[in-house]
């Protein structure tokens, strides 16, 4: 799988996680947060193949590139 | 226009693009890590009018990334120092200084005059306020944020399909989620890279030369030199202000953002030129020396709470005492009564006149 984490999530979620595809964004999120409980308190968007996904029912296919994008505000 | 020759000879740029820059008015909010390179490069490029807003003073720990400033500038307001330095680079630019932080009470006095707004701030309260103000007034907003070795850049409220910061994150993220540079750390060059990306976006927006980063979130990582552009999608039911009142009613979680410290006489002089500014001397009536340089209103601290009607007409209120301690208390008291006014504590008190 191709999972990229940004911001603080880099230190929380590794590049490989044990999740089978296809899977809906909603379920993917739930599984991630079950495995990494710190994530549950954080806000982040999920991008699949370089597009932010709004629809939680969207199905992520095998070999998709997934990105976890938290907000940060440094300047 | 010999100064701009190297860019006007560029294919697709030309004198036409330069004329657009010269006529443009850009507001840079924040003169820190992102603001310094933005200000330097927009000044160099010949943007005709540049406004800069920042209530902060320069600290030693800023100098690893805020490369417009020098060691001897520590303690001075960022916009005032930036102004002096930028004039040396390009004295043709018209600079407008706002040596205070923007907030709901002053945003609409500043924003309307500009064509493009650059978010170089470091907290979500002002970022969301700028976003909503630009949404309402239809001004392109060049956003960037940095964290450790990463940057995010995007252009909001511009183009055929304008996007909004709230399409990305609908509401202000909870405070636990967002470290700032002081807590998380940041590499100096990262601020420079991200800010220069912003300056580039401003130039593309104004000149029409190149493709501004609208509808996309640019993600840069300085350790890996990776750049990705993630497509944004429109979110449903986000807050869209229909008028100023919608914004004035919205909660942006500002706290003590409109209290500034004044360290030097020029800063006090500047504040006293604002509309409806007053200097309140909270020392006892017998204390010396008297303040001659400005007309001050003498209200000893113990009598302050009963004397509010002598102050309420003013919007920018500087307080002074012997050493800066009583004046700080005075400001705390006044802010409780008037949370939307702007307060300036004369740090170090009466010494400022020496």
CA distance A44 to B326: 44
How far is residue B217's CA from residue B151's CA, in Å, rounded to a whole number?
10
pLDDT tens digits along B145-165: 999 999 999 999 999 999 999
CA angle A13, A18, A21 (to 5 degrees): 110
Checking if the pLDDT of B22 tops 90, the result is yes
Of B196, B30, B57, residue with least CA distance to B118: B30
How many residue pairs bridge chain A and chain B with CB atoms within 8 Å of each other?
Answer: 91
N residues, chain A: 75
Mean pLDDT along residues A68-75:
92
CB nearest to B121's CB, from A45, A72, A75: A75
pLDDT at res. B183: 54
Residues 12-51 of A with CB under 8 A from B: 41-43, 45, 47, 50-51
Please check the confidence at residue B189 and state whether its pLDDT lies above 80: yes
Which residues of chain B neighbour A54 with C-beta distances below 8 Å? 233-236
Enter the tokens of residue B77.
């307001």
Which H or E run includes B50? strand B49-53
Beta-strand ranges (E) seen in chain A are 2-5, 23-24, 45-48, 51-52, 59-60, 65-69
Residue B167 Cα, gap to closest chain A Cα (Å): 9
Shortest alpha-carbon distance between residue B4 and chain A (Å): 29
Contact B121 A50 (CB under 8 A): no
Task: Indicate whether B261 pLDDT > 90.
Answer: no
Coil, strand or helix at A61:
coil
Sorting pLDDT into bands at 50, 70 and 90, what band is B323? confident
Quick check: A69 pLDDT over 70?
yes
Q: How confident is the model at residue A12 (pLDDT cuts 50, 70, 90)?
A: confident
Q: What angle do CA B67, B20, B109 make, to 5 degrees?
A: 70
Range in B42-46, B197-201, B298-302, B325-329 the model is least confident about = B325-329
What value does the mean pLDDT take over residues B180-189? 72
Write the DSSP string, B223-261: TTTEEEEEEP-PPSS----SSHHHHHHS-----STTEEE
Whether B177 and A71 lie within 8 Å, measured CB to CB: yes
**Helix axes B265-272 and B78-89, enclosed angle (nearest 10):** 90
CA B281 to chain centre: 28
Q: What is the pLDDT of residue B176?
A: 47
Please tell me the predicted confidence (pLDDT) of residue B174. Answer: 67
High-pLDDT (> 90) share of chain B, %: 78
Contact at CB, B230 and A47, closer than 8 angstroms: yes
Residue-wise pLDDT tens digits, B110-137: 999 999 999 999 989 999 999 999 999 9
Sheet harboring B342-346: ordered strands across?
A: B259-262, B342-346, B316-320, B277-281, B296-298
* pLDDT > 90 in chain A, percent: 71
pLDDT of residue B175: 53
Of the candidates B127, B230, B231, which has its C-beta nearest A73's C-beta? B127
Contact B173 A6 (CB under 8 A): no
Name the nearest CA neighbour of B121 among B181, B9, B31. Answer: B31
SS3 of residue B11 by DSSP: coil
How high is the pLDDT of residue A21?
92
A24/A41 Cα distance (integer angstroms): 20
Contact B228 A51 (CB under 8 A): no
Cβ contact, residue pair A52, B144, below 8 Å: no
pLDDT at B113: 98
Q: Which residues of A touch B169 (CB under 8 A)?
A: 43, 45, 71
CA-based nearest residue to B196, from B310, B351, B346, B40 = B40
Nearest-angstrom CA–CA distance, B78 and A38: 38
What per-residue confidence (pLDDT) applies to B351? 86
pLDDT number for residue A40: 83
Residue B11 has pLDDT above 90, yes or no: yes
CA dihedral B222, B227, B231, B235 (to 10 degrees): 0
> ipTM above 0.90?
yes
Average pLDDT over residues B78-88: 98
pLDDT higher than threshold 80 for residue B177: no
């Amino acid at each position: 799988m191709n999972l990229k984490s940004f911001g603080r999530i880099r230190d929380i979620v590794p590049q490989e996680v044990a999740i089978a595809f296809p899977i809906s964004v909603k379920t993917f999120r739930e599984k991630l947060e079950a495995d990494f409980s710190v994530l549950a308190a954080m806000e982040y968007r999920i991008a699949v193949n370089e597009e932010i996904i709004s629809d939680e029912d969207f199905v992520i296919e095998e070999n998709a590139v997934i990105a976890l994008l938290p907000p940060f505000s440094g300047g | 226009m010999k100064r701009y020759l190297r860019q006007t000879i560029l294919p697709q740029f030309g004198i036409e693009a330069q004329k657009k820059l010269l006529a443009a008015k850009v507001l840079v909010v924040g003169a820190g890590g992102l603001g310094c390179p933005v200000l330097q490069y927009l000044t160099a490029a010949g943007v005709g009018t540049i406004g800069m807003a920042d209530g902060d003073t320069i600290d030693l720990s800023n100098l690893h990334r805020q490369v417009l400033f020098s060691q001897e500038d520590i303690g001075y307001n960022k916009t005032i120092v930036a102004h002096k330095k930028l004039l040396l680079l390009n004295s043709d630019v018209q600079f407008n200084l706002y040596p205070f932080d923007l907030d709901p009470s002053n945003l609409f006095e500043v924003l309307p005059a500009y064509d493009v707004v650059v978010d170089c701030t470091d907290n979500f309260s002002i970022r969301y306020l700028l976003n909503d103000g630009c949404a309402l007034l239809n001004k392109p907003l060049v956003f960037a944020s940095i964290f450790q070795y990463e940057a995010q850049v995007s252009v909001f409220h511009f183009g055929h399909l304008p996007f909004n910061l709230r399409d990305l994150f609908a509401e202000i993220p909870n405070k636990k989620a967002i470290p700032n540079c002081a807590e998380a750390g940041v590499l100096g060059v990262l601020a420079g890279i991200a800010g220069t990306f912003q300056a580039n976006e401003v130039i593309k927006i104004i000149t029409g030369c190149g493709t501004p980063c609208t509808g996309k979130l640019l993600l840069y990582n300085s350790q890996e030199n990776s750049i990705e552009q993630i497509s944004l999608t429109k979110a449903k039911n986000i807050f869209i202000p229909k008028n100023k009142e919608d914004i004035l009613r919205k909660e942006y979680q500002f706290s003590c953002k409109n209290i500034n410290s004044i360290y030097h006489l020029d800063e006090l002089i500047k504040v006293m030129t604002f509309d409806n500014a007053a200097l309140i001397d909270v020392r006892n009536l017998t204390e010396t020396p008297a303040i001659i340089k400005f007309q001050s209103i003498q209200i000893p601290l113990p009598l302050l709470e009963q004397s509010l009607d002598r102050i309420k007409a003013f919007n920018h209120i500087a307080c002074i005492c012997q050493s800066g301690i009583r004046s700080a208390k005075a400001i705390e008291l006044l802010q409780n009564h008037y949370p939307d006014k702007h307060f300036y504590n004369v740090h170090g008190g009466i010494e400022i006149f020496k």
